[in-house]
Structure 1
């Protein structure tokens, strides 16, 4: 565009709307803690009424596997250690996610396991849902997975990291 046509155009400027609340006065004390900001953690609840408790092996596997998963994403652990824990498709997706740059390392906050499916042979729980949260760079993120029995152990078959 020639310089003469730019000079003849009219530019308008619209004000930016302030969407943040006004700061509190410095003499005002902090507000009372809410359910989101508890000073003491809640006690762990058991399974809901009528819902079977997940096997201890599933709970231990879920906690260990998610911690190892975050360590692989943070490049603190080699990817080869995930291969017995997850399906090959998920391992490839975790490798792709680990290539992105990260600010800070992740630390697991809590993990919960819930039994969802009876085994195919009727000898126990065959699948469980795993959900939890982790902290990275001052922010809290969610993680969820589905684990299923695979031979004599458990295996992650679905994964979502938020």
Structure 2
């Protein structure tokens, strides 16, 4: 279905014909995604879903049956506090001011294995200058995910820290950590 067209003719120029064509629009009601079983995990999307997630009908919790469950933003503590705690704990452990085991509850198994592999940035291993952590910035691009960045100062030099936190079982866990 097209809109009626009209003719526009500026002075001294040939007539220009303007035709308005309607843009195809998505359906008014969202189509439900085809899912065989709802495990209580959130559907990844750029827009947070309203309302609570559906739960399993059995008496066992999803964690008991299927392992870790992703958490929505409403089920998690403040991301800024978790981000500051992670950056401080991880850097102090790498510098040698606290045991590396204190980082374990804040990270996934893969990140903890990478930290405990023994390879530390040279600026962490050398010298005894104080470690100063600047402002920690947090961005939440998707429900249950936080991306953080910070700058650590030691010995007159600045070093970048970036991490990705995901809500797992009601707690923020670091799934990726980059220290420059």
Q: Fold match, TM over 0.5?
A: yes
Q: Which residue of 1 aligns with 2:68?
A: none
1:106 to 126, 131, 146: 131
Q: Structure 2 unaligned runs (5+)?
A: 1-46, 49-72
Q: Does the 8 Å CA contact 1:108/1:135 hold for their aligned counterparts?
A: yes
Q: Does the 8 Å CA contact 2:77/2:171 hold for their aligned counterparts?
A: no
Q: Distance in 2 between matches of 1:105 and 1:98?
A: 17
Cα gap change, 1:56 to 1:153, in 2 (>3 Å) = closer
Q: Which residue of 2 aligns with 1:63?
A: 84
RMSD of aligned alpha carbons = 2.2
Kindly indicate whether residue 112 of structure 2 is the aligned counterpart of residue 91 of structure 1.
Answer: yes
- CA displacement 1:20-69 (0-9 Å, x = unmatched): xxxxxxxxxxxxxxxxxxxxxxxxxxxxxxx99x8761110001110011
Kindly indicate whether residue 170 of structure 2 is the aligned counterpart of residue 149 of structure 1.
Answer: no
Shift of residue 99 of structure 1? 8.5
- What is the DSSP-based 3-state SS (H/G/I as helix, E as strand, rest coil) of the residue aligned with 2:136? strand
Shift of residue 97 of structure 1? 3.1
1:140 to 158, 164, 172: 158
Q: Structure 1 unaligned runs (5+)?
A: 1-50, 119-125
Q: Does the 8 Å CA contact 1:75/1:98 hold for their aligned counterparts?
A: no
- CA displacement 1:75-109 (0-9 Å, x = unmatched): 11111111110012211222223486322342201
- CA displacement 1:103-140 (0-9 Å, x = unmatched): 2342201100000112xxxxxxx101000101011101
Which TM-score applies when normalising by structure 1? Answer: 0.58
- What is the DSSP-based 3-state SS (H/G/I as helix, E as strand, rest coil) of the residue aligned with 2:178? strand
